[in-house]
Structures are given as structure tokens and as C-alpha cells.
Structure 1
């Protein structure tokens, strides 16, 4: 193997909890909710699937079904899909739906998995090229920079910048070309068997991790290093 491609959410990083997401947005606007109301609203937002990178929607409303399917193909579609889900939940101020969306794009909303720096650093030391391939609607580079991981990444291939979503093999092909690696000598690491598994159609090897909370997955990425020996 000459290169490894990584998914972002659930693979290298994990989004904060829905409760922390809502609490942070409220604090930023000076809005308050009582303890029981805060907990109930957070649960409703989680069921709606309004937090990008969080739990998927229990049900996608019919009026959002079309945009939901292509949400990662542009920044506008991504925002429309997730604020649309958020608006299924009543909030103290309608403006909070956009505040919530904006918060999830901040570095503070994300935590790297405990072994992410170790694994990426080891790959860099071994001369293995690293790419990040993500279905996403915004630029995640600031998250990597804020957590000190950007120095290990040689290329970012983000769906919204190409108008293509995983599992479309073209997104993986773009990543391999950016790294100068042949698909047959490239490993894709992700948490979504459908989306990330699309790399196999291009000829890449694929390895899956569990998108567990950070505290519950301390060494989930380390097996990648064994696969490259």
C-alpha cells in the first residue's frame, strides 16, 4: 500500500453529543432552557437526525426526502437538509436552527479519536500518503488544523466541492489521483459500509471501524497499521 484514505466523521473524528451541541448553541446566543426542557429538546433533535455526524433521522419528512438523498453534493443542499430536520423541532427562537448548524462546523464541536494522531503520524513516518474523503457540505480543514492533525494529511477530497457523494467511485478516484496512488495500492478506512465501501468498486482495499463515542473507541484505528505491514 502506498496510500490510505480516511473518512472524517465516525472514523477520525466524532461530533459532540446532541445535548452538548444544543447547550453550546444556546450559550452562544444567551438563550436559556430549563433542565427538563433542554433534555427534551435535545432528545427531539436527536430523533430528528438534525445533528450532522450524529444519529441518522428516525424518519425523513416527505418534503425533505429529495434534498436528503443529495445533501452532500453542495454546501447549500447540506444546510437545507439539516436545518430542515432541525425545524421539525420547536426551539425558543427560529434563528437557533441556523446557529445550531453553524456550531457543528466549529472545531470545538469535534474530538479526534484517541489514536488518530498516533496512526496518522506513523503513516507519515512510513512515507504512506494520507487523504481524507468525506461526504460533507463544508470545509473541514479548520477542524484538522485546530486539533493538530492537518500536518499529516496530503489531500482532502470533499463531496460538496466535487458535486459527487460516496459511494460514487469517482470521488475515490479523485482522491487516488490527488495522492498519486493506484487504487490497488490504496486502503480506504471508514465507518459506513455503503458509502465507504464504494471504494472497493474502484479496486481499493477497504477497512471498517465502528463509529463509537470517543471514550468507547480508544484504539480502533491502530489495526490499520497492522494491515500495512
Structure 2
């Protein structure tokens, strides 16, 4: 069967790795403990709750806009928001310490769970001779997450916003990804979940496949459809 594309580029969060189960009670407790703060399960769960409420509120979204352009900017913005969330949370405890613990958990490669179909689909595409890339609006190096999954060697290039100073939906990030793979945009399929940020790949001539919004860490993401689209 003739291949329909020469490369497939994937978004990271909510496409290959789950974004809803990163901050866990166990992870936050461990990160806090490493910083000398003992939290019980109830306290850790509450800290996760207030942290997410703050960063996901409209004001939090507005302040986070564009912060993925650099690792320093990402850390600064997120830490400020998480410090505000932790202020007054634990009497006698510095909120910045709690914020650092939550941020460490967020950016820990082992905190990110791949969907069950991530590794099998990447492997199948690679075996079919299709070049693979990852394009992400992200503030830290996500390569270790792929290494932990055992698929880092399958990905030819990682085009990360914090390393390029550009974010999706800007064309520059998509163009850079195609250039690094050495394929024209029309021969590279983009797979993501966000119709605005990921769908913008069409502006540079890339065909796009958008995954459904509904997802769960322990269920296949629907990535098998990519194999048929790619002509595998």
C-alpha cells in the first residue's frame, strides 16, 4: 500500500500523553516531602484542587498565554500562580515551597502517563518507514517522558516552543518541524486535539487529524486511526 504521507507530527499533551492525571496525591506528597513538608492525603488532594482551580481559571489562562515561549518564562508564570494558590494553605509553611513541589510534579516526566495506544501506534508508523516528530507548546524538555516509555528513539525530532521561542498556532513552529524532518508540509500529517492551536497546521499546508475531546489515561486515545490515514 502506498503511503499517503512521509511524516506524522504529533502534539504532546492530551494527544500522546494524558494531561488530566499529572498532579496526583502521591506525586505531590512525594515532591513536598523532598522539600521538607509533610502532607497527608487530604492535604495533598486539596493542594492539587486549589492549584488547578487557580491555573485553569480565566485569569490564570490569561496570565499563562504565551508563557511556553521559554523555559524560564514558563517556570516564572506557573510558580507565581501556584504560589498564589498555596498562600494561606498551610499555616506556617512558605507557599513558594508548596508551589515548587507542585511545579516539580507537573514537569516530572514520570508524572505523565502515555495513552495505551501511544507506543503501539508510534512503533507501527516507524516500522512503516514514516518519519515521526513531536510539536508541543511546552515549557520544559519532554524527551525524558518518551525515553521512559521506550519510544524516544522512534521520534526523529522534537520541536518544542520553549526551544524555538514560538508557539502554536503561529506558523513558525510547524514550519520548523517540517524543516527538521526534511519533508514538505503537504506530505506531513499533523495529529492533535486543539482545533485552534493544532488545527493551525493547515495554514502551512499540512493535513490535520484532530482527536475527540473525550479522553482518559487508561483508555486508547483513538490513535489507531492515524495508521489508516497515513496509509500504513
TM-score under structure 1 length normalisation? 0.87
Aligned to 2:77: 81
In the other structure, the counterpart of 1:53 is none
Contact 1:135 1:158 in 2 (8 A): yes
Equivalent position to 1:9, from 10, 13, 18: 13
- 8 A contact 1:18–1:45 mirrored in 2: no
Whether 1:45 aligns to 2:48 is no
Unpaired runs of at least 5, structure 1: 50-56
1:26 to partner: Cα distance: 2.2
Q: Normalising to structure 2: TM-score of the pair?
A: 0.86
The count of aligned residue pairs is 218
Which residue is 1:138 aligned to?
Answer: 140
Q: Return the alpha-carbon distance in structure 2 between the equivalents of residues 188 and 31 of structure 1.
A: 43
Within-5 A mapping of 1:100-139: 100-139=102-141
Question: 1:29: how far off?
Answer: 3.0
Distance 1:140 1:95 in 2: 23
The Cα RMSD (Å) is: 1.9
Aligned mate of 1:214, from 211, 214, 217: 217
CA distance, structure 2, for counterparts of residue 33 and residue 102 of structure 1: 16
Distance 1:97 1:174 in 2: 33
Paired with 1:128 and 1:106, the residues of 2 have a C-alpha distance of 29
In structure 2, the CA distance between the partners of 1:35 and 1:142, relative to structure 1 (3 Å rule), is: closer
Q: What are structure 2's unaligned runs of at least 5 residues? A: none
For 2:40 and 2:119, how far apart are their aligned partners in 1? 38
Contact 1:191 1:211 in 2 (8 A): no
